[in-house]
Amino acid sequence: MRTLQKTMLLELVYPTVETSLPLPPDLKKKPKLLWLDTGLVNYAAGVQSEIFGKDDISDAWRGRIAEHIVGQEFLAQTPSFLETRNFWVREEKNSQAEIDFIFKSRRYGIMPVEVKSGHNAHLKSLQLFMQQSPCTSAVRFWGQPKSIDTIELTSGKTFSLINLPYYYAGMVEKMMQDGFGINIRHHIRLPRDTIRIGRRRRTPQRHP
């Protein structure tokens, strides 16, 4: 695999156990494979025809194709060949907690990213990460419209979960600069019309 990485056909994406900068990769843990082309992945896995009939790419190959496409977009945004991607795993023994990507911006710091589908997708790993991290916002890519949720953790900490359609994956750096087009502080303050759903709070989007 290291030979293929040298040919730039794929990238070995190693995990990190850190929740803030710097994010050193743990080279002893198993990496993910981020291929240059999703078509190569589909062909090697023999799932080409199944992809064509899907309304939501997160339904294909247990969501791995959607995750791979987001990773490709992150790769395309990288200005240097020396930069690599990371994902997060919990350091605890036998823990299965994992965040799909940790997006790194030289100007705006880090952003945890999950690639999930559906409003009711469990985000337990993300909650564990945010509990330990100074981050106040996270991104979920899915097949639904753009929206924002304010999540309250058991510790009392709240963070903004920014839900974005897959096609925004190539614009994360710019959207971080623009505040994702959403007044994040407004949602963290939890205005009166916030709907409380258990430990999860959702703020309705107002349209002019």
Cα-based distances in Å from 83 to 25, 95, 106, 175 = 12, 27, 11, 20
Q: How confident is the model at residue 125 (pLDDT cuts 50, 70, 90)?
A: very high
- With respect to residue 207, please indicate whether it lies within any of the assigned structural domains: no
Whether residue 201 is predicted with pLDDT greater than 50 in this model: the reply is: no
SS3 122: coil
The answer to whether the pTM exceeds 0.95 is: no
Tokens of 155: 């510790």
Mean of pLDDT values over 24-29: 93
- With respect to residue 142, please indicate whether it lies within any of the assigned structural domains: yes
Average pLDDT of the chain? 79
Q: How confident is the model at residue 188 (pLDDT cuts 50, 70, 90)?
A: very low
- With respect to residue 208, please indicate whether it lies within any of the assigned structural domains: no
Domain carrying residue 44: 2-20+29-202
Whether residue 202 is predicted with pLDDT greater than 60 in this model: the reply is: no
What is the pLDDT, as a whole number, of residue 91? 86
Q: Angle at Cα 121 formed by Cα 132 and Cα 189, nearest 5°?
A: 55
Residue 13 is which amino acid? V
Residue 85's nearest CA partner among 74, 99, 98 is: 74
Residue with the two structure tokens 């559906």: 118
What is the number of domains present in the chain?
A: 1
What is the pLDDT, as a whole number, of residue 62? 54
Render pLDDT for 35-86 as a digit per residue (tens, 0 to 9). 888 777 777 766 666 666 666 666 655 567 888 889 999 988 877 777 889 9
- With respect to residue 133, please indicate whether it lies within any of the assigned structural domains: yes
- With respect to residue 52, please indicate whether it lies within any of the assigned structural domains: yes
What is the pLDDT, as a whole number, of residue 118? 57
Q: How confident is the model at residue 173 (pLDDT cuts 50, 70, 90)?
A: confident
What is the pLDDT, as a whole number, of residue 200? 45
